[in-house]
């Protein structure tokens, strides 16, 4: 089985985000970037499936400018077998990413597509679902456990939903998106970092995948959330109820 | 007022002026740094922790996206938290243009490891004098146990420049533990370079994996700077090829905890040419250790004297030739000096970041104190010193890698400069914290440890 893992290069989770003065986005120049944490978890799961003998090959994919190579090299250093870089400098939104992944899936023919549930920069939580729709593949999103039996053509995904945990059995090929508790990603090791240099990163353009990049979304404005206001002492329970009802509007 | 200051683990440099971190007459004494506790609250948001391939799992807290930080209030613990997060951010060291793509990746790995495995615990280890062997083994699992050893014995086959980058990143989180790691690597690399093929195969695998920990034993109570005058003897008895070792070594890092001791002992004439290097097992009969030294800082690293009382060492444990021991010891120290210097740089970078974080939030006279020119000048000077130290370290490392004849001198320069300047930087950082700098809650105070 071949597993394809899509990873995104995002601002490192520990960085204090600053909004640009012109409110067009967040400051990314000179800011530390890293692989999206959920993508790391997805890649880790793929590696574990391969180590358990369920998969033969793990291919890691990323889309964007030349700096993606960094993220792909991290993926290779963690243990992926090879990498594909979809080269573009355009801003990509989830639907476009999904279309590009469809193009790749058609040529690579993976049996499983693993992604992070969402990226920590846009929190879209759409790409996995969209690609499953485009490919007409079953999807197991917010996975907290992925289990396969040897030689089986299905996978059992335990998902975290509002009501608790839900177990789904998906017929392969399938799309799975990783949630936080799926696993703990491994560190790369020094020997693996060096071995990664020999692993291939192939380049592909959106045109080659037959995708025309269109701007379906327009970012109107990016602003900081309102500053936390000081607490207010209330004189009585009635006043509390009144504030909860009329000001905070939570009841 | 009780003055406390931190001594480095003395690595004697017999041929070059030993740089003293304590300038006995200077005004600096009155602004001495305290080592000890740092009480971080590790950032709870988006704390994705990791495990290494050995499979130890740590807890994870649930969150999916970072929110924009709010300005912390003036309470001490919140300053500490703010400092933690700011400190983690500012790991750009402005020398990325000098590093290879590989080194950038090594550094990224080392930083991640440092942030997750060292930073949250460093203060506690120091306070409790806990030697974090399990974490060192984890580091070895990533390849940090035998940086300069060959792949065939489990080493990573890296250069001194690579090592400098890695150790600086680790020292950012914990100077003391990283310094021990560099000493262990120094011992392993000594065997790699001067050992026979049999010795490499026999001894190195357990060292690169850190199944066994190593210590370097040169200094004695009566020979510090004048290392070549050491008095530990290694004599052969008639009818045996074994050596019998007698003597005492002082201030040995890892003493008591390490499994393997590389002991320089006198087999021949007085002076450097009579010294040989021996691989001594901890369980050897006659080998004992003094009490653990009560150090002012670097308390996560055990330090004690090593006493040899008719310790029998087989011939196969002689590293190099008889009489070659001093050359071996000195060449090991070239690397050791570079690594101690790089540890200082890592620690100092942390101090600068912590100070910058603090002065950005501390308000007096109606504005953040970073808005005052003096603060800015101070920070600029501090950063310059750290950067200059870093440059000297990289210079020495590349000199050693290319076997330049001036490599030893370069290493000594790097060590002398980096340790002194970074000491000053740590002191400046403490001063910038004002009264808070004197409190154990504040990391900068713990970060004096050199």
Identify the band that residue B15 occupies on the pLDDT scale cut at 50, 70 and 90.
very low
CA angle B338, B341, B343 (to 5 degrees): 110
A23 Cβ under 8 Å from any chain B Cβ? no
Q: Is the pLDDT of residue B218 over 50?
A: yes
Q: Strands of chain A (E only): list them.
A: 2-6, 9-11, 33-35, 57-64, 82-87, 112-116, 139-148, 154-161, 164-171, 174-178, 201-204
Q: Is the pLDDT of residue B368 over 90?
A: yes
| Chain B contact residues (CB < 8 Å to A) | 43, 46, 48-53, 57-58, 60, 62-70, 85-86, 88-89, 91-92, 101-102, 105-106, 108-109, 112-113, 115, 141-144, 147, 151, 156-158
Identify the band that residue B299 occupies on the pLDDT scale cut at 50, 70 and 90.
confident
* Cα distance from N-terminal residue to C-terminal residue, chain B: 21
Identify the band that residue B417 occupies on the pLDDT scale cut at 50, 70 and 90.
very high
At A228 the pLDDT is 86
- Distance in angstroms (rounded) separating the CA atoms of residues B378 and B392: 21
At A128 the pLDDT is 95
Contact A189 B50 (CB under 8 A): no
B242 with B311, same domain? yes
Q: Which of A61-75, B22-36, B361-375 has the lowest mean pLDDT?
A: B22-36
Contact B106 A120 (CB under 8 A): no
**Nearest Cβ partner for A17 among B58, B66, B70:** B66
Contact B102 A74 (CB under 8 A): no
B198 with B125, same domain? yes
- Distance in angstroms (rounded) separating the CA atoms of residues B119 and B91: 13
**Nearest Cβ partner for B106 among A37, A190, A228:** A190
Shortest distance between the Cα of A30 and any Cα of chain B, in A, equals 9
Q: Is residue B62 part of a domain?
A: no
Q: Among all residues of chain A, which has the CA nearest to that of B69?
A: A16
Average pLDDT for chain B: 81
The position carrying tokens 């970041």 is B353
Contact B68 A118 (CB under 8 A): no
- Distance in angstroms (rounded) separating the CA atoms of residues B107 and B101: 10
Contact B58 A32 (CB under 8 A): no
At B13 the pLDDT is 29
B273 with B353, same domain? no
Percent of chain B predicted with pLDDT > 90: 71
Mean pLDDT score, B63-81: 37
B338 with B314, same domain? no
Q: Is the pLDDT of residue B3 over 70?
A: no
**Nearest Cβ partner for A228 among B46, B70, B91:** B70
Q: Is residue B349 part of a domain?
A: yes
Mean pLDDT score, B319-325: 95
Q: Is residue B404 part of a domain?
A: yes
Nearest to B62 by CA among A42, A179, A17, A116: A179
Mean pLDDT score, A95-112: 95
Q: Is the pLDDT of residue B69 over 80?
A: no
User: Total domain count for chain B?
Assistant: 3
Which H or E run includes A237?
helix A237-242
Q: What is the pLDDT of residues A30-53, one digit of tens each?
A: 788 899 999 999 999 999 999 999
At B41 the pLDDT is 23
Nearest to B318 by CA among B219, B216, B241, B209: B241
Nearest to B311 by CA among B265, B347, B373: B265
Q: What is the pLDDT of residues A195-210, one digit of tens each?
A: 999 999 999 999 999 9
Q: Is the pLDDT of residue A244 over 50?
A: yes
At A169 the pLDDT is 95
Contact A13 B62 (CB under 8 A): no
At A170 the pLDDT is 95
Q: Is residue B126 part of a domain?
A: yes
Is the dihedral angle over the CA atoms B95, B98, B104, B110 positive or is it negative? negative
At A30 the pLDDT is 79
Mean pLDDT score, B306-321: 96
B258 with B246, same domain? yes
Query: What is the domain extent for residue B373?
Result: 327-448
Give the predicted TM-score (pTM) of the model.
0.82
Identify the band that residue B63 occupies on the pLDDT scale cut at 50, 70 and 90.
very low
At B439 the pLDDT is 81
Mean pLDDT score, B105-120: 93
Domain boundary among B264, B287, B322: B322
Pick the CATH number of A2-226 from 3.30.420.40, 3.40.50.620, 3.40.50.10490, 3.40.50.1820: 3.40.50.620
Decide: B299 and B35 in contact? Cβ < 8 Å.
yes
B116 with B170, same domain? yes
Q: Is residue B189 part of a domain?
A: yes
Domain boundary among B297, B322, B347: B322
B304 with B368, same domain? no
Which of B43, B84, B102, B154 should we substitute to test contact with A (largest number of A Cβ atoms within 10 Å)?
B102
Decide: B450 and B344 in contact? Cβ < 8 Å.
yes
- Partner B, chain A 63-102, Cβ-Cβ below 8 Å: 73-74, 77
B164 with B256, same domain? no
At A173 the pLDDT is 95
Mean pLDDT score, A224-248: 87
B113 with B178, same domain? yes
Domain boundary among B212, B236, B268: B212
B204 with B104, same domain? yes
Shortest distance between the Cα of A212 and any Cα of chain B, in A, equals 30
How far, CA to CA in Å, does A155 sit from each of A6, A44, A118, B369? 19, 17, 21, 58
Decide: A223 and A23 in contact? Cβ < 8 Å.
yes
Return the DSSP state at A246: I
- Distance in angstroms (rounded) separating the CA atoms of residues B58 and B422: 33
Identify the band that residue B345 occupies on the pLDDT scale cut at 50, 70 and 90.
very high
Q: Is residue B9 part of a domain?
A: no
Q: Is the pLDDT of residue A100 over 90?
A: yes
B63 or B209: which leads in pLDDT: B209
């Amino acid at each position: 089985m071949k597993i394809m893992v899509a990873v995104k290069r995002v601002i490192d989770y520990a960085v204090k985000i600053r909004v640009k003065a012109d409110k067009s986005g967040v400051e990314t120049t000179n800011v530390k970037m890293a692989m999206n944490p959920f993508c790391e978890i997805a890649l880790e799961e793929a590696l574990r499936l391969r180590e358990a003998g369920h998969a033969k090959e793990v291919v890691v994919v990323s889309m964007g400018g030349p700096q993606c190579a960094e993220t792909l090299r991290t993926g290779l250093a963690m243990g992926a077998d090879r990498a594909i870089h979809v080269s573009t400098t355009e801003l990509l939104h989830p639907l476009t990413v999904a279309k590009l992944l469809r193009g790749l899936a058609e040529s690579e023919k993976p049996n499983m597509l693993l992604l992070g549930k969402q990226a920590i920069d846009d929190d879209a939580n759409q790409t996995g679902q969209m690609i499953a729709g485009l490919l007409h593949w079953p999807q197991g999103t917010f996975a907290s456990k992925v289990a396969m039996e040897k030689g089986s053509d299905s996978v059992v995904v335990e998902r975290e939903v509002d009501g608790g945990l839900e177990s789904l059995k998906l017929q392969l090929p399938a799309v799975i998106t990783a949630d936080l508790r799926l696993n703990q990603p491994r560190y790369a090791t020094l020997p693996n970092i060096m071995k990664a240099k020999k692993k291939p990163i192939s380049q592909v353009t959106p045109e080659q995948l037959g995708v025309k990049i269109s701007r379906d979304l327009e970012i109107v404005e990016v602003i900081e959330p309102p500053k936390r206001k000081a607490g207010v002492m209330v004189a009585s329970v009635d006043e509390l109820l009144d504030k909860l009802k009329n000001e905070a509007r939570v009841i | 007022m009780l003055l406390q200051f931190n001594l480095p683990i003395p690595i004697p440099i017999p041929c070059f002026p030993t740089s003293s971190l304590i300038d006995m007459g200077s005004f600096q004494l009155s602004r001495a740094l305290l080592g000890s506790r740092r009480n971080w609250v590790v950032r709870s948001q988006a704390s994705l922790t990791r495990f290494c391939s050995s499979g130890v799992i740590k807890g994870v807290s649930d969150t999916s996206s970072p929110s924009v930080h709010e300005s912390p209030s003036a309470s001490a613990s919140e300053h500490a938290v703010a400092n933690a997060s700011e400190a983690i951010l500012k790991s750009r060291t402005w020398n990325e243009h000098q590093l290879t793509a590989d080194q950038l990746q090594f550094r990224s790995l080392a930083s991640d490891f440092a942030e997750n495995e060292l930073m949250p615990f460093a203060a506690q280890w120091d306070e409790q004098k806990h030697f974090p062997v399990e974490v060192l083994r984890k580091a070895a699992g990533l390849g940090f146990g035998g940086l300069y050893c060959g792949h065939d014995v489990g080493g990573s086959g890296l250069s001194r420049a690579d090592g400098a980058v890695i150790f600086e990143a680790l020292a950012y989180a914990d100077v003391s533990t990283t310094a021990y790691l560099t000493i262990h690597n120094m011992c392993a690399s000594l065997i790699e370079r001067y050992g026979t093929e049999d010795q490499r195969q026999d001894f190195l695998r357990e060292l690169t994996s850190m199944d066994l920990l190593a210590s370097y034993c040169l200094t004695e109570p009566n020979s510090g700077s004048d290392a070549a005058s050491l008095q530990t003897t290694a004599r052969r008895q008639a009818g045996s090829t074994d050596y019998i070792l007698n003597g005492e070594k002082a201030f040995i890092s890892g003493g008591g905890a390490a499994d393997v001791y590389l002991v320089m002992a006198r087999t021949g004439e007085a002076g450097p040419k009579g010294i040989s290097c021996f691989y001594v097992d901890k369980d050897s009969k006659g080998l004992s250790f003094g009490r653990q030294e009560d150090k002012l800082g670097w308390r996560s690293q055990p330090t004690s004297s090593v006493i040899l009382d008719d310790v029998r060492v087989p011939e196969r444990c002689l590293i190099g030739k008889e009489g070659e021991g001093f050359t071996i010891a000195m060449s090991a120290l070239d690397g050791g000096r570079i690594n101690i210097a790089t540890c200082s740089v890592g620690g100092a970078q942390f101090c600068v970041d912590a100070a910058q974080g603090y002065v950005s939030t501390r308000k007096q006279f109606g504005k953040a104190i970073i808005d005052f020119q003096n603060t800015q000048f101070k920070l600029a000077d501090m950063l310059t010193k750290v950067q200059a130290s870093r440059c000297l370290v990289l210079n020495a490392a590349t000199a050693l890698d290319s076997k330049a004849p001036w490599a030893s001198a370069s290493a000594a320069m790097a060590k002398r400069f980096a340790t002194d300047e970074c000491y000053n930087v740590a002191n400046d950082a403490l001063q910038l914290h004002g009264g808070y700098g004197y409190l154990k809650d504040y990391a900068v105070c713990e970060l004096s440890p050199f």
